[in-house]
C-alpha cells in the first residue's frame, strides 16, 4: 500500500503523466487537434502576475506553464477527458484573467468547487474546471498526489492502483483534512493510470470524439442496454489492443449504432443536453 513517505513530487514526471494521458485519449476517441502543447519556454500567458488573485505558489505556476491542455472552446463545448469531466485549460484561463474578462473567484469556484476553495492551500491546484457536477481532481505539488474529490467506491476500492493509505486527519490541518478525506488520492502517475484503466476496461465509454459516459451513472430508461452495446462495438474493433484498434472506424460504428437504436444520443453535445433525466445535465458522481 503506497504511503506518503514513499511518494515524491516531480514537475517533470507530472508533465509527462498529463502528456501521456492526453495522448492515450487521442488514440481512443479524442481528436488530436483538441490537445495543445506549450512552446518550449512554456505558455507566455501563465505568469505569477496573471494568477496572482488565485494565490498559488510559484511551483504551481511553473507546472501550469508547461502542461499540455485540452483546449477550451469559446462556445463551451469542451471535449471530455473523463466522464462528465472537462479538464482545466489554464492557458485560456490565464489569458482571460489578464484581460479582466473573468473574475478570479469564479475561476476558483469552477476549478475547486463551491464548498472547499477557502480551505485549499496555495500549493494545490485543480486539473479540472466546469459546471457544478464536473469532477474535481486536485493536484498537491508538496505531496506529489492527486485527490479525486467524491470518488465513488466502485473506483476507489476496485482499482488495480492502490490509493494512498495515510489518514488526512493525521497529516493535514483540520480544515484541509475535511476535503482531503472526501474521496481518494493516488500518486500523480498512478492517478492517470487509474483513469486509463477505466477506459481500457470500458467502464468509461466515449459515445463520440467529445462526450464520455460511464457505467456507474444512470442515464434513464431510454438508455437501457446502450452502454453494453457500445462496449461490444469497441471490443469488436480491437479495443483495448491498440495494434488492432481503428479509432475512426470504431467511432463511425458507434454513431451508426446510436442513430439506429438510440437516436437521441447520436449527434452533437447540444442534442444530448436536452435529454432531461437521461442527459448531460444529470451526470453525477461515480
Q: Return mean pLDDT, the chain.
A: 91
Other beta carbons within 10 angstroms of residue 163's beta carbon come to 22
Contacts 24+ apart (CB under 8 A), 222-229: 222/262, 222/264, 222/275, 222/278, 223/262, 223/265, 223/278, 226/258, 226/261, 226/262, 226/265, 229/257, 229/261
117-132: per-residue pLDDT in tens?
A: 679 999 999 999 998 8
pLDDT at 286 over 90: no
pLDDT in the model for residue 75: 82
The predicted-structure confidence for 217-272, as pLDDT tens digits, reads as follows 988 888 999 999 999 999 999 999 999 999 999 999 999 999 999 999 986 554 45
What whole-number distance in Å separates Cα of residue 102 and Cα of residue 94? 10
CB 211 within 8 A of CB 270: no
Per-residue model confidence (pLDDT) at position 272: 54
Strand partners, 32: none
User: pLDDT, tens digit, for every residue of 12-48?
Assistant: 999 999 999 999 999 999 999 999 999 999 999 999 9
Determine how β-strand 124-126 pairs with β-strand 212-214.
Answer: unpaired
214 or 115, higher pLDDT: 214
Q: What's the predicted TM-score (pTM) here?
A: 0.92
**pLDDT at res. 280:** 45
Whether omega for the bond prior to residue 240 falls within 30 degrees of 0, making it cis, is yes
**Per-residue confidence (pLDDT) for residue 67, from 0 to 100:** 98
Amino acid at each position: 500500500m503506497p504511503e506518503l513517505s514513499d511518494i515524491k513530487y516531480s514537475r517533470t514526471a507530472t508533465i509527462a503523466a498529463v502528456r501521456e494521458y492526453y495522448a492515450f485519449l487521442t488514440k481512443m476517441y479524442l481528436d488530436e487537434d483538441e490537445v495543445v502543447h506549450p512552446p518550449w519556454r512554456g505558455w507566455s500567458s501563465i505568469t505569477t502576475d496573471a494568477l496572482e488573485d488565485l494565490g498559488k505558489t510559484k511551483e504551481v505556476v511553473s507546472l501550469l506553464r508547461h502542461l499540455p491542455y485540452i483546449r477550451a472552446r469559446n462556445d463551451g463545448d469542451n471535449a471530455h477527458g473523463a466522464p462528465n469531466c472537462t479538464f482545466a485549460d489554464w492557458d485560456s484561463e490565464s489569458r482571460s484573467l489578464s484581460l479582466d474578462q473573468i473574475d478570479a473567484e469564479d475561476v476558483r469556484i469552477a476549478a475547486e468547487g463551491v464548498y472547499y476553495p477557502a480551505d485549499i492551500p496555495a500549493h494545490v491546484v485543480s486539473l479540472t474546471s466546469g459546471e457544478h457536477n464536473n469532477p474535481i481532481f486536485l493536484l498537491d505539488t508538496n505531496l506529489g498526489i492527486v485527490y479525486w474529490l467524491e470518488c465513488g467506491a466502485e473506483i476507489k476500492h476496485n482499482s488495480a492502483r492502490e490509493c494512498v493509505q495515510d489518514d488526512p486527519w493525521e497529516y493535514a490541518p483540520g480544515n484541509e483534512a475535511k476535503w482531503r478525506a472526501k474521496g481518494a488520492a493516488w500518486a500523480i502517475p498512478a492517478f492517470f493510470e487509474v483513469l486509463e484503466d477505466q477506459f481500457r476496461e470500458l467502464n468509461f465509454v466515449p459515445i463520440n470524439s467529445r462526450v464520455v459516459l460511464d457505467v456507474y451513472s444512470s442515464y434513464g430508461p431510454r438508455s437501457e442496454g446502450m452502454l453494453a452495446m457500445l462496449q461490444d462495438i469497441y471490443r469488436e474493433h480491437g479495443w483495448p489492443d491498440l495494434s488492432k484498434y481503428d479509432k475512426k472506424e470504431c467511432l463511425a460504428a458507434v454513431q451508426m449504432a446510436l442513430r439506429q437504436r438510440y437516436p437521441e444520443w447520436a449527434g452533437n453535445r447540444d442534442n444530448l443536453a436536452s435529454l432531461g433525466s437521461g442527459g448531460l445535465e444529470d451526470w453525477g458522481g461515480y
